[in-house]
Every structure is written in C-alpha cells, then in structure tokens.
Structure 1
Amino acid sequence: MQRIRLRYTKRGRLRFTSHRDFQRAFERALRRAEVPMAYSAGFTPHPKVSYANAAPTGTGSEAEYLEIALTAPRDPEALRGLLDESMPAGLDITDAVEAHTSGLADRLAASLWELRLDGVDPAEARRAVDAFHAADTVEVQRTTKNGVRTFDCRSAVSSLEIVETQPQADRPEDRPCAILRLVVRHVTPAVRPDDVLSGLRAVADLAPPVPAAVTRLAQGPFDEETGTVTDPLAPDREAAQAKTAEPAAAATAATPEGSV
C-alpha cells in the first residue's frame, strides 16, 4: 500500500464550502481520475482518506492537508495533476509527496493566518494589537454544544502584527483597511482567528464594520527560534531524497577503485 500526502486550497467563493462538501468533491475527483484507492473493510467500504485539521467553513486557506492510501503505486506529481484537473477551481491540489514518515497530524502544531479588516484604520488596529500584546490573559467566550465556554485566547498566540497594505484593485482607495498576520499554536481548547478578533474587541473595543476576510497561509511545525510555521511535508521530501540517494551511494561503494 502506498500513502500519498496532498496539500490543497480553499480560495475565493469556495471558502464557504463545508468540510463535508469538500469530502464529496474530493471523492468524486478520485473516481474521475481513476485513482487506485484502498478501501476500508466492512459492510460499507469507503476510500481510505485521512483529513487533518480542516479550516472552519467561511475561511480561505492555502494550506490544508490530507492523506490517501493506494493499492498500486503512482507518481505523486502526476497524481496531483490528475486530481487538480478533476476538482472545482478554488479547491486546488497544490502539492503531493509520498509518505515516508508517520505523524502528519501531529506536525500541524501551528497556523499562520491573514485577517483582512475592511473599514478599519491601520492605526486603530495597531493600538488594539498593542493592547492585546500587553495583556497577560484575554478571556473570550464561545458557544459550544455544551453551552457557553470561557477561555484565554492570549496564551496560544505566538505573534500578531500589522501588515503594511498596498493599493489593490478590489479595495476603494478612500476606504481604510487593516491587515493582520497571526501565528497561533494548535492547543486545547483550539483558538481560532475569530476568537482573537473577539479578544481585540475585549481589550480595545476593535469592532470591524464588516466580517473579517480570514485566510490560512500556512500550517505545520512551529519553529521556536524563528517563531515561524514550517512545511509539514518537508520530512517526507527529505526521506524520499535519502531513499533515492541510497542506491547511488551503494553503487559507488561497490565500484572498484580505478575502474571506468
């Protein structure tokens, strides 16, 4: 059995698709691309697809991940191209590697988010960010199936900063817009971008006039030294390179010295 790990996106209007909607679209793409999927046992077999930490409905993403199991080997890049052609525009398959390591879900330890706040002056947003950083704890509330839950959203935030904006064709020049970059660790309870926005409202009364446009730019291991989110597929790429190099190294070692 071969395992392939894929990175995919949710762009434009497709950010409003639910995780179940994506599952249905992806399983149709698997059939169209005639992927030799492995199936579970039992009375209702289903393709072996493992999804990891999907973004909430309504948020865009450049870094969603899943893993599929195949009954016959396929070239990861060729498979990626076939699946991408079979998916709707906006749900794009952007990367594929063969799985040579375990624990993909465990590597997704943090996310980098971009929050676009239309109608918010950058100076006002900067004051709110400064107040958020100055607070030891920022308690917010979220409604769950078990009722309203109160928790601290400050401790999970590794960094929160204002991004210098550039003129864009889709934004009127006379309308202010603040863009935030947020790195948040995946902890329990999970802290989402909307929780951080609630925290900014709590500490500085920051209330965007329209809902924020939220996009996940990256998710993966968290580098403590740099404070950045790194590529979760890098260990598989490195393992593949090492595996490829082994036969060449063995052939070199077996060649008698001085032979042509």
Structure 2
Amino acid sequence: MKLIAKYHKGNEIAMISHLDIQRTLQRTFRRANLPLLYSNGFNPHPQFSFATAAATGMGSDCEWFEVQLSEEIDPKEFMRRANEVMPNGMRISDAFAAPEGFGSLSAKLRAAEYRVTIHFEEAASQEKLTQTLEDMLSGEIIIQKRTKGGIRPVDMRPYILRVSVEQVEGEQAALLVLGKLQADGGLRVDAIIDALLERLDAHGAYEIHRTNMFFAEDGLLPHLPAE
C-alpha cells in the first residue's frame, strides 16, 4: 500500500535540515509502530520519499511525502498514530491511499506558494515596494546558481508566476509569491527577495513560509486553477 501524506513544519523547527526531518519521520513511524515496507539488500530502509526537500530555514504548511506500507491501514489511523508521537513543530494534516498507477509526487510537482515577511530597518512604503517589484518583474532577474557544472548565471524571471504585496505596516511587509517548482529545480525565493532588497537599496531580515504546493491535476492533490 502506498500512502500519500502532508505534514506541517513549524517555524520553531525551520532551521532543522531536510536530512534531519527525514530521520525524524523515520523515528516517528517506528515509535508509532506503523507497518513500514523496507527495501531489500544489505542495509534495508523504509521506502518513503518527499515531493521536494523542505528547505532549511523555511517553515511550511504543506510538505508532502509518500510511504510504502506492508499492510493496509486507514489513512486517518495512520495520521492519529503518527501525530501521537510526532515532535513539537511537526504534524501530519492530511493523508490518503494512493490509487493504482498513481506515480510519484516529485514527478507531479508543478509549483509552490510562499508567504514572505520582510523586516526593514526603516518604515516601508507600499507604493515604492509595489513599483520596485513591478519594475523588477519586467525584465530578467539574474542570480548565481550552484549547479553540477559549477556556479553559473540563471534568470529566475521565468520561474515566477505571481508576486503580490499583501500588507505593509511600519517596518514590516508581507509578500505572497507563487513560483514554479519541479523535481529538477524551481524558483529560489530567497534570491528574489535579495534582488528586491538590492533594488530598494534597503536592508532587512526576512522569513519564508511555504503555504501551498501544487501538482499536476489528478483529482486528489492541490493543483493550479489554470491546469
């Protein structure tokens, strides 16, 4: 049985690495006595994988994973048993049994939405922020990206689907960013915010929180309305 599940990664554990998240979930499944299916070979390990890595430093409401189970279990029972022993800051919020031929989450992944909170050193102007953002989106946004072949310039603009200024209050601003995200890469939200701050000639800290993931339309997973 393949089970698909979504979990919450709170801001209080945002600095935990993806590898540590993976280990935490493995320990949680074992403590919950869930019927995991293990791989064959010299070093058997649970058969589960993620739609994409949960970036270090980023909280999320919508991290998805798939896990193979050795026997049938009701998804609600899986959630209940896992959440009873889940550490603070993590919680499974949705789960369902994958139908035959479902495929992999990573192959279905299309985009993600993020809420970015920027803390400026001085009071922010919504008009200036909106205008600077519009100007930035009208052309290329070149960043230096590390690839297998080394560091090379990459234009992030094609990966941006939408950016909007949601709120500006004093020194704080909230942006909503929708960008392409697939198994082979996607939008670097931190690089976009760094580019925006540079254009504003401003300094500030920011937090990125993933609010949603979108997949190819299959009637089961969230998908972009345009698909």
What is the alpha-carbon distance in structure 1 between the residues aligned to residue 212 and residue 53 of structure 2?
Answer: 12
Deviation at 1:142, TM superposition (A): 3.1
1:219 maps to which of 205, 213, 217: 213
So what's the TM-score if we normalise by structure 2?
0.86
Extract unaligned runs of 5+ from structure 2.
none
Quote the offset at 1:105 in angstroms: 1.7
Measured after TM superposition, the shift of residue 124 of structure 1 is 3.3
Higher helix proportion (structure 1 or 2)? 1
How many Å separate the matches in 1 of 2:58 and 2:45? 28
Name the residue aligned to 1:34.
Answer: 33
The match for 1:113 is: 114
SS in structure 2 at match of 1:116: strand
Deviations 1:92-120 (A, max 9, x none): 11110001122322221000011100126
Contact 2:4 2:65 in 1 (8 A): yes
What is the rounded CA distance, in whole Å, between the counterparts of 1:222 and 1:38 in structure 2? Answer: 27
After TM superposition, the structure 1 = structure 2 runs for residues 72-221 of structure 1, keeping only pairs within 5 Å, are 72-100=71-99, 101-119=102-120, 121=124, 122-135=126-139, 137-143=140-146, 146-164=149-167, 175-186=170-181, 189-201=185-197, 204-210=199-205, 212-221=206-215
Deviation at 1:209, TM superposition (A): 1.9
Residue number among 203, 217, 221 corresponding to 1:233 in the alignment: 221
Post-superposition shift, 1:206?
4.8
Relative to 1, partners in 2 of residues 1:232 and 1:65: Cα closer, same or farther, differing over 3 Å? farther
Distance in 1, matches of 2:52 and 2:9, equals 14
Give me the TM-score of the superposition, normalised by structure 1. Answer: 0.76
Give CA deviations for 1:34-88 in whole Å, capped at 9, x if unaligned: 0111100001000111122122100111111111111111000111111112111
Structure 1 residue runs of 5 or longer lacking an equivalent are 167-174, 224-229, 236-260
State the partner residue of 1:60.
59
CA distance in 2, matches of 1:53, 1:97: 18
More strand by share: 2
Q: Which residue of 2 aligns with 1:244?
A: none
| TM-fit CA distance, 1:186 | 1.9
Contact 1:140-1:198 within 8 A present in 2 as well:
no
Contact 1:104 1:232 in 2 (8 A): no
Letter in 2 for 1:140: I
How many Å separate the matches in 2 of 1:31 and 1:222? Answer: 31
Query: Partner of 2:15 in structure 1?
Result: 16
CA contact (8 A) 1:117 1:177 kept: yes
Distance across 2 between alignment mates of 1:88 and 1:197: 31
| Cα distance in 2, alignment partners of residues 231 and 152 from structure 1 | 33
Identity in percent: 27
Aligned 8 A contact 2:197 2:203 in 1? no
Asked whether the 8 Å contact 2:215–2:222 carries over to 1, the reply is no
Asked if the contact 2:4/2:97 (under 8 Å) is kept, the reply is yes
**How much is the aligned-residue C-alpha RMSD, in angstroms?**
2.4
Provide the rounded CA distance (Å) in 1 between the counterparts of 2:74 and 2:174.
39
**Who wins on radius of gyration, i.e. which is larger?**
1
